[in-house]
Amino acid sequence: MKKTGYAYSDIFLKHETPQWHPESAQRLTAINNLLNNSGIMQKLVMIEPRRASEEEVGLVHTAEYIQKVENFGSGYIDLDTYMSEGSAEAAFYAAGALINAVESCASGTVNSAFCAVRPPGHHAESSRAAGFCIFNNIAIAARAAQGRGFKKIFIADFDVHHGNGTQMIFDHDDSVYYFSTHQSPLYPGTGSAEESGSGKGYGFSRNIPLKAGTEDAEFIEIYNTALPESVNAFQPDMMLVSAGYDLHINDPIGGMNVSDVGVKGIVDGILSAAWSGRKIPVIFALEGGYNLRHLAYSVKTTIECMLNFPD
Ligand SMILES: [Zn+2]
């Protein structure tokens, strides 16, 4: 059985959003309840999140933006992104949860992890919040991993939205590969197939935009052919996953026709790509997913795939 870590902190609940807002604290409570009640939680290695340092966050975000987040207080920092008094700390701890997951992989304590964090991260750019995201957790984790000997990082992003922030941060970078499937057209409007990186980063981004209504079979095909093709060509040292469950058919925001079977197929494809040849650590970080019941079930499915992956 795989040693799988789980990173969560109650500090993430202190990021409070307005009543109507889909990105709510209840998302994490629903996940924890299902993992506890189904007996999955007891099989996981707990990873205690810590506060990411300004220096660690500063490998991705500008000093001016970090200061803005720290001093913002409460209100809308972006059209869609609300901050409460506890949001800045939650954002630092969300990034720190991923860094600790990286460290747990580096020390060999685990070989995979799921980070149940909020606020999410993949829309956040180096100098601005966007789309419910404050700090780009996955990008900060990629830099932290590179500082610990994992030179080449592969980021897979299956959130229904394109991870514009992550793509932009690594646009010119040939040491981080960004692979995304997403609904198009949809917010934020980026992620066309022609966007494949710039300068020495050219060829290190791969976007697969998909029409609303795309079904399980097409996703499973992509994650078992296109994804391993990119992974094998790049030969990464670590895999990071922007796990957005708003691609589920029951999600109130996304428009895809992906069932539980599709979620399992996507996750198994990612794990196979990471673990079929040279076995590299895999860290999943929560992005979107707004139907509480199906979000929790999809996370449970993801973790079961990690625990049950054949050695
Ligand atoms: Zn999303």
pTM (predicted TM-score): 0.98
Distance between CA atoms of 162 and 141, rounded to whole angstroms? 19
Q: What is the pLDDT of residues 46-92, one digit of tens each?
A: 999 999 999 999 999 999 999 999 999 999 999 999 999 999 999 99
pLDDT at residue 302, rounded to an integer:
98
User: 231 CA to middle of ligand 1, Å?
Assistant: 23
Residue appearing with tokens 């992005």: 287
Run of H or E including 219: helix 216-224
| Peptide bond just before 228 cis, omega within 30 deg | no
Burial class (CB in 10 A: 0-12, 13-18, 19+), 276: exposed
Distance CA 214, CA 274 (A): 25
pLDDT, position 278: 85
285-301 per-position pLDDT tens digit: 999 999 999 999 999 99
Q: How far apart are CA 13 and CA 187, in angstroms?
A: 25
Adjacent-strand bridge partners of 243? 286
Residues 6 or more apart in contact with residue 101 via CB below 8 angstroms: 5, 7, 47, 110, 113, 115, 141, 283
Q: How far is the CA of 149 from the centre of ligand 1 (A)?
A: 30
Is the Cβ–Cβ distance between 281 and 104 less than 8 Å?
Answer: no
First CA to last CA distance, the chain? 7
- Residue 125 has what pLDDT? 98
CA of 58 to the centre of ligand 1 (A): 24
Location of structure tokens 């008094």: 85
CATH architecture of 4-308: 3-Layer(aba) Sandwich (3.40)
Q: pLDDT tens digit string along 187-212?
A: 999 999 999 999 999 999 999 999 99
- Residues 6 or more apart whose Cβ sits within 8 Å of residue 233: none
Q: From ligand 1's centre to the CA of 55, what distance in Å?
A: 27
CA 287 to ligand 1 centroid distance, Å: 6
pLDDT of residue 234: 98
CA 277 – ligand 1 centroid, Å: 30
Domain borders along the chain are 4-308
Bridge-based pairing of strands 82-83 and 75-76 is antiparallel
Instruction: Name the residues annotated as catalytic.
Output: 123
CA 108 to ligand 1 centroid distance, Å = 31
